Chain A
Amino acid sequence: MEYFIQQLANGLTLGSIYGLVAIGYTMVYGIIGMINFAHGDIFMLGGFAALIVFLILTTFFAGIPVALALLVMLIVAMLMTGLWNWTIERIAYRPLRGSFRLAPLITAIGMSIVLSNFIQVTQGPRNKPIPPLVTEVYHIGNITISLKQILIVVITSILLFAFWYIVNKTPLGRAQRATEQDRKMAALLGVDVDKTISITFIMGAALAAVAGSMYLMYYGVASFNDGFIPGVKAFTAAVLGGIGSLPGAVLGGLLIGLIESLWSAYFSIAYKDVATFAILAIVLIFKPTGILGRPEVEKV
């Protein structure tokens, strides 16, 4: 039982990270109907931004409190990654809007390769380690919970709440939902659709940057390749939860995190990714739109 709870805690931590990244996939899909395959690399880029900020802070401001360092790291990573994604949308995706459906998809795959190669060339192909940031651990019986894990879950929860609030309660969120549901009508009501889409990319990137920073903090290394496997898993989470659905992205992320850690704990760690994708396949057979996805019939 304690072992199970331990794995639950690990799964929840991992799931939080996947969920944050999944939101970026699902939002972009919702608003422009495009799978942004480069989003995994945006997550990776966020991790590197955090890494660089952290190294700068610890080199030039040695002795800076860890909490402050973390905060600065998160904020700068969010800003830098948001700017990256804004630029990518602006130069690579927007010109293709309105062309045939596969064009932006292919461009996104290309962009994904560009980003990971760019980091490989500029930062080197090896894993980049950082010194352990937050090392405290707590023992409850035989269960070990690290402060890192608590931080990840807490930060994720705060962000999810803020995000939920923006999307559901603010004029910006209404404009985003309107653009998602009927772009032309949104424009007829004075919504600047291009700007709204840009902001959506920035928001998705900011969440991915936080996820990237936490992934870095959790595992202690960053690699140019991180956009791939974790990226694909976050994408899987979005599909599992129902692509286009924000609660679905969070739920999907948590499920993938839990499946991964429980499978590794009770079965074979080597097959954890196979298990994840097998479950995705099974869910999609019975519910093609994902767990919380809405069927495509509601068209007025």
Chain B
Amino acid sequence: MTGEPLLKVQAVETYYGNIRALSGVDVDVHKGEIVSLIGANGAGKSTLMMTICGSPQARTGQVIFDGEDITRLPTHLIARKRIAQSPEGRRIFPRMTVYENLQMGAGLDNLKYFNEDVEKIFTLFPRLKERQSQRGGTLSGGEQQMLSIGRALMARPKLLLLDEPSLGLAPLIVKGIFEAIKKLNKEEGLTVFLVEQNAFAALKLSDRGYVMVNGKVTMSGTGKELLINPEVRAAYLEGGRH
């Protein structure tokens, strides 16, 4: 990869109180790439996703987006740079309808492109169309995941962050969601940085990947390289879900 990356995470350290969750993380994501981050539970993957969005902020190091240092920006201003996240736990607004949740995603443009974009989301996830006037809290896990991704997409992101989009979902739904991500990347050039427990599917989908252990990136490479790497296979693939 040449040229300036769209997202550059540089020597980032993030703390929860006195506990260090990230210790010197470097990650690059280039425009148009799908990059995945894999690692065991508690490795710090979600912390990195949230640090990119400034909540919590990195104590040291830098997050550079589109050539601009965003490390110290408040979260809502980072969002306005068009970094959208479908965070861990999905965080659907439970007492808003599906439709309103999607409207929240389109808030940056004051709903200017809402009608146009919501149709795309409904084509991508027809289930959401059927459920549009239902309250978010009453959706099934898979539907909430679709809504969370759909809501992030409504922001017309330059960078989409997905934290475990497959968590707790049936294989068929996971397949659908991964296909949707691939399609958006291919057809619209959407840049995606995703965290996955399902390392096999994630690496297969991705241009490149990073492996995180205990708050540090220990390995990186193309998706293919990581898929055949014996250490990765032993730790995250063999015996894991395929």
With most chain A CB atoms within 10 A of its CB, the pick from B75, B79, B155 is B75
Q: Which of B75, B103, B136 is in CB contact (< 8 Å) with A188?
A: B75
Count of interface residues, chain A, beta-carbon cutoff 8 Å = 20
Judged by a CB distance under 8 angstroms, whether A2 is at the interface is no
Q: Which of A139-147, A173-181, A231-239 contacts B (4 or more CB under 8 A)?
A: A173-181
Bound: A298/B137 CA distance, A: 8
Q: Which residues of B contact A174 (CB under 8 A)?
A: 96, 100, 103-104, 107
* Total residue contacts A-B, CB cutoff 8 A: 74
Minimal Cβ-Cβ distance residue in A for B80: A190
- From B80, B93, B105, B151, name the one whose CB has the most chain A CB atoms within 10 angstroms: B93
CA distance A177 to B137 in the complex (A): 14
| Known contacts A171-B107, A174-B104, A185-B91, A300 near B136 by CB under 8 Å | yes
Taking the nearest CB of chain A, how far is it from the CB of B85, in angstroms?
Answer: 5
Known contacts A184-B55, A188-B53; is-contact A171 B137 (Cβ 8 Å): no
Q: How far is the CA of A185 from the CA of B101 in the complex (A)?
A: 11
- Name the residue on A nearest B103 (C-beta): A174
Contact of B95 among A175, A181, A187 (CB under 8 A): A181
Chain A residue contacts of B104, Cβ below 8 A: 174, 178, 186, 189, 191
Q: Are A184 and B155 in contact (CB under 8 A)?
A: no
User: Given A178-B104, A298-B137, are A187 and B74 neighbors across the interface (CB < 8 Å)?
Assistant: yes
- CA–CA, A210 and B105, complex, Å: 35
- A191 surroundings in chain B (CB, below 8 A): 76, 104, 107
Is A296's beta carbon under 8 Å from chain B? no
Residues of B within 8 A of A190 (CB): 76, 79-80, 107-108, 155
- B103 CB to closest chain A CB (Å) equals 6
> CB distance B93 to A182 under 8 Å?
yes
Minimum CB–CB distance from A118 to chain B (whole Å) comes to 33
Chain B residues whose CB sits within 8 angstroms of the CB of A187 once the complex forms: 55, 74-76, 79
Is the CB of B216 closer than 8 A to any CB of chain A? no
Inter-subunit contact B87/A185 (CB<8 Å): yes
Contacts of B155 in A (CB 8 A): 189-190
Q: In the complex, A27→B74 CA distance in Å?
A: 24
SS class of chain A's interface: helix, strand, loop or mixed? Answer: helix
Q: Does B90 contact A (CB under 8 A)?
A: yes
- Least CB distance from B138 to A in Å reads 9
B 73-97 binary contact with A (CB < 8 Å = 1; else 0): 0111001100011010111111110
Assess whether B110 is interfacial by the CB under 8 Å rule. Answer: yes
Instruction: Please tell me if B144 contacts chain A, counting CB pairs below 8 Å.
Output: yes
A96 in contact (CB, < 8 A):
no
A188 touches B94 (CB 8 A): no
The answer to whether A185 touches B111 (Cβ under 8 A) is no
A174 to B93, CA, bound (A): 10
A38–B90 CA distance with the chains assembled, in angstroms: 36
B179 CB to nearest chain A CB (Å): 25
C-alpha gap A298/B96 in the complex (Å): 12
Q: Which of B98-121 contact A (CB under 8 A)?
A: 100, 103-105, 107-108, 110-111
Bound-state Cα–Cα, A52 to B66, Å:
54
Mark interface residues in A156-174 (1 if CB within 8 Å of B CB, else 0).
0000000000000001001
In the complex, A193 Cα to B74 Cα: how many Å?
Answer: 10
Minimal Cβ-Cβ distance residue in B for A196: B76
Chain B CB within 10 Å — which of A190, A191, A299 has the most? A190
Closest to B148 in A: A185
Complex: how many Å from CA A177 to CA B85? Answer: 19
Q: Are A178 and B94 in contact (CB under 8 A)?
A: no
Could you show 14 A-B contacts with beta carbons less than 8 Å apart? A171-B103, A171-B107, A174-B100, A174-B104, A181-B96, A182-B93, A188-B55, A188-B84, A188-B91, A189-B79, A189-B108, A190-B79, A193-B76, A300-B144
Contact surface of B with A, Cβ cutoff 8 Å: 53, 55, 74-76, 79-80, 84-85, 87, 89-96, 100, 103-105, 107-108, 110-111, 136-137, 144, 151, 155
A171-B111, A190-B80 known, 13 other contacts, Cβ within 8 Å: A174-B100, A177-B93, A178-B93, A178-B104, A181-B93, A181-B96, A182-B91, A184-B91, A185-B93, A189-B84, A189-B104, A298-B94, A300-B89
